[in-house]
Amino acid sequence: MTTSTSAPTRAATAPQPSPLRRRRPRRTWPFVLLLLGPGAVLIVVFIVVPALYGAYLSFTNTQLTGFAARDPKFVGIDNYTYLLSSSDFLASLGQTGQFVLFSAIIGQTVLGMVAAILLSRPWVRGKGLWGAAVLMPMIVPEVVASLTWASVLSNNSEGTLNRLTGLFGADPTSWLQVVPMVSIIIVNIWRGVAFAMIMFQAALEDVPVDLIEAARIDGARAVQIFRHITLPLIRGPVFLYLLLTTISTVGVFGLVYFLTQGGPGGATRLAAIYIYQRALQFAQIGIGSAASMILLALVLVLGLVYVRLSKVEV
């Protein structure tokens, strides 16, 4: 656009420090309040206040129904001590950890990197089509993503995966009952490969081609080039991606809830599902809120690191 051409002219003709500071403060505030005020207030009401209110609720025994619903009491850290000694909740945190580690940090990252590298080869034909196919799982709404996998993991002998394993002579398995955790991990890998691929493609673009060429002429094999040249150069973006995918994977709810509803026997009750069930199905708002706060604390630490490291310009 015209920004780049007009900026130097302005610097030459206008002695003022910057257009932002030209207006006097007393004329600035009414405009800022008028324009940004409504949005900021709504963000506070619907995002910040819930977080603070949740913190308050986590110290009470609030319930949606029953005696405690009428007269919620302050119970100190009882909810937290209950949760941290509850094997259900600790198991749920552990499952969330497993889910994040295997689906996001390992699965999506490795497959996304493979896809990005393959599609960066100059001789690969039809890059747009390959890329579009990989993007499909990410574009569809999460309910549809779950629905597609419900048919793949179907427990009868005609289910897609059972037919595939049947080719090798295996008996039909009800995947979501026998290996529920593995199943939802694979579903989430499937959903997230595209995002990893996009992030890594952008990073790979910034790696100078001459460096790769030089190493190749020096006789380095492809694996060595990747290990000693490409990887160190894209370490920053990869690390940022890992933080980001960890944060967003902790928040996955619909994808898993649709398929398993936390079952069988709580085997896929991720922290997000634990909170939903406790607070809104069993009506124990206090305990659900305490679980929310524990989850929030974990994510906010990662989020702060992300915001610090991403070095976005304001």
Partner 1 sequence: MTTSATPQAPALARRFRRRPLTPVNVVQRVLAYTLLVLMVLFCLVPFAWVVFSSVDGHAGPNVQLPALSFDNFIRFFTSAGTPMLLVNSLIIGIGGTALNLILGVAGGYALARFAFKGRRAFMFSILLIRVIPAPATIVALYLIMVNLQLTNTLVGLILVEAVLQLPVTLWLLKGTISAVPIELEEAAWVDGNTRLQAIRRVVLPLIGPGLGAAAMLTFMGIWGDFLTPLVMLQSQELYPLSIGLFRAFSDYNHVDWGLLAASAIVYVVPPAVLYIFVRKHLLKSSLGGAVKG
Q: Which of 68, 75, 100, 111 binds partner 1 (CB under 8 A)?
A: 111
Give phi and psi for 111, each to the nearest 5: -65, -40
- 76 or 278, CB closer to partner 1? 278
- 43 or 231, CB closer to partner 1? 43
What tokens does 257 get?
């809830």
Q: Which of 68, 100, 115, 225 binds partner 1 (CB under 8 A)?
A: 115
Rounded distance between C-alpha atoms, residue 242 and residue 285, angstroms: 32
In the complex, the smallest distance separating the C-beta of residue 181 from partner 1, rounded to whole angstroms, is: 18
Q: Which of 68, 225, 234, 250 binds partner 1 (CB under 8 A)?
A: 250
Q: Which of 91, 101, 105, 150 binds partner 1 (CB under 8 A)?
A: 150
Residues between 262 and 301 with contacts to partner 1, criterion CB under 8 A: 271-273, 275-276, 279-280, 285, 288-289, 292-293, 295-296, 299-300
Determine if 313 is a binding residue for partner 1 (CB under 8 A).
yes
Determine if 178 is a binding residue for partner 1 (CB under 8 A).
no
Rounded distance between C-alpha atoms, residue 231 and residue 118, angstroms: 15
Q: Give the x-and-dash track for 188-207 against partner 1 (CB under 8 A).
A: --x--xxx--xx-xx-xx--
Q: Which of 167, 209, 217, 223 binds partner 1 (CB under 8 A)?
A: 209
Residues between 40 and 99 with contacts to partner 1, criterion CB under 8 A: 40, 42-43, 45-51, 53-54, 57
